């Protein structure tokens, strides 16, 4: 049975933290197990070709290639034999707005070469999936591609993860997915820690029981050179779990935000520096168990009005961690903050009505 006892809270957090760190150490060393290649062809013509026929077309094109440089072979080849590996790639069919933009501005002479990897007899597109689909929809039969050889699925994923797209930057969830395949140690650490707490790293909320969307914040914490980032992330999730912040979806979505993750990191740094992290831990667990993330955020707004959200959340957590905030004070200020918020909304609506009348 859960209790507010400070010693028990400290032990609970330490046990969760230790388990997460042990699992993370193994994951960083070996990488996270992922499924194999998910090979997809985008053209209708590819459906008419057998795997052997595609392999033969690719082999012949490479054998007859006349342009070879240190950046790979340049080959003009049918779009029907160009594939995507969706185990790490993004699916351009789900980002059609970008594809249509490429179609509208298509220029054969100035279009960048698509970069592909020749692996297991297949040409996998590493850079240019959206251009490939745009060309197919425009009715273009062949494209010039730059072929790189000797890459594995892991090194292809690393290449994809590090590229700078000219049209749009890769989304955090997309680079995270590629990092899983490339065995990126930061990604392995975040995935494993989240897995220990039943969290799913994702960019969306639908049909995900316990989503963790603050990917950039988590990566920043783990990569922080000033601290043991994996320990910090393990500690904050352990505190959240012990304080029941990860049990309900409403609390979880408020807890796993960038501002909260950075605020917990700042409290962790202060606690480690002063040698008081155990005391901070028990104070946080005791109070947060009776407060939702939204209440803590509202408390921070009135504590430090005018500051950025991270500073407000940090100020609230710091007050709780050092034992300077009791529940009565938190709820009083949080209620005031909510009243002020409603008053501001009401004032805004009245101003809009006056403007319409005038």
Domains and CATH numbers, the chain: 6-30+183-345 (no CATH), 39-169 (3.90.1530.10)
pLDDT band at 209 (very low <50, low <70, confident <90, very high): confident
The pLDDT of residue 52 is above 60:
yes
Average pLDDT, the chain: 87
pLDDT attached to residue 354: 46
Phi and psi at residue 24, in whole multiples of 5°?
Answer: -70, -40
Residue-wise pLDDT for 285-319, tens only, equals 999 998 889 889 888 888 888 888 889 999 999 99
* Mean pLDDT across 7-15: 87
pLDDT band at 2 (very low <50, low <70, confident <90, very high): very low
* Mean pLDDT across 33-54: 92
pTM of structure = 0.82
More confident residue, 111 or 249: 249
Please state, for a pLDDT cut of 70, what percent of the chain lies above it.
90
Please state, for a pLDDT cut of 90, what percent of the chain lies above it.
59
pLDDT attached to residue 356: 52
pLDDT band at 348 (very low <50, low <70, confident <90, very high): low
């Amino acid at each position: 049975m859960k209790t507010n006892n400070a010693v028990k809270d400290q032990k609970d957090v330490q046990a969760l933290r230790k388990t997460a760190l042990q699992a993370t150490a193994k994951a960083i060393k070996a990488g996270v197990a992922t499924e194999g290649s998910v090979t997809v062809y985008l053209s209708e013509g590819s459906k008419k070709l057998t795997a052997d026929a595609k392999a033969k077309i690719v082999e012949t094109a490479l054998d007859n290639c006349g342009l070879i440089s240190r950046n790979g072979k340049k080959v003009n080849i049918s779009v029907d034999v160009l594939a995507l590996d969706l185990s790490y790639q993004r699916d351009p069919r789900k980002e059609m707005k970008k594809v249509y933009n490429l179609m509208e501005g298509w220029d054969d002479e100035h279009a960048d070469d698509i970069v592909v990897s020749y692996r297991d007899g297949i040409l996998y597109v590493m850079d240019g999936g959206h251009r490939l689909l745009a060309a197919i929809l425009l009715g273009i039969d062949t494209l010039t591609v730059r072929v790189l050889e000797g890459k594995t699925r892991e090194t292809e994923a690393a290449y994809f993860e590090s590229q700078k797209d000219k049209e749009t930057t890769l989304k955090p969830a997309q680079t995270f997915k590629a990092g899983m395949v490339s065995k990126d140690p930061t990604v392995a650490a975040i995935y494993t820690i989240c897995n220990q707490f039943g969290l799913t790293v994702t960019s969306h909320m639908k049909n995900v029981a316990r989503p963790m969307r603050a990917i950039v914040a988590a990566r920043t914490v783990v990569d922080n050179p000033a601290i043991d980032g994996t320990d910090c992330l393990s500690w904050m999730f352990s505190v959240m779990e012990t304080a029941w912040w990860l049990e309900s979806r409403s609390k979880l979505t408020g807890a796993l935000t960038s501002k909260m993750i950075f605020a917990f990191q700042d409290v962790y740094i202060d606690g480690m520096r002063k040698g008081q992290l155990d005391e901070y831990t028990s104070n946080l667990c005791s109070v947060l168990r009776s407060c939702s993330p939204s209440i803590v955020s509202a408390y921070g707004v009135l504590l430090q009005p005018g500051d950025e959200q991270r500073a407000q959340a940090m100020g609230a957590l710091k007050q709780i961690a050092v034992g300077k905030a009791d529940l009565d004070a938190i709820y009083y200020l949080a209620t005031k903050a909510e009243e002020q918020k409603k008053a501001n909304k009401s004032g805004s609506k009245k101003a809009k009505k006056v403007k319409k009348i005038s």
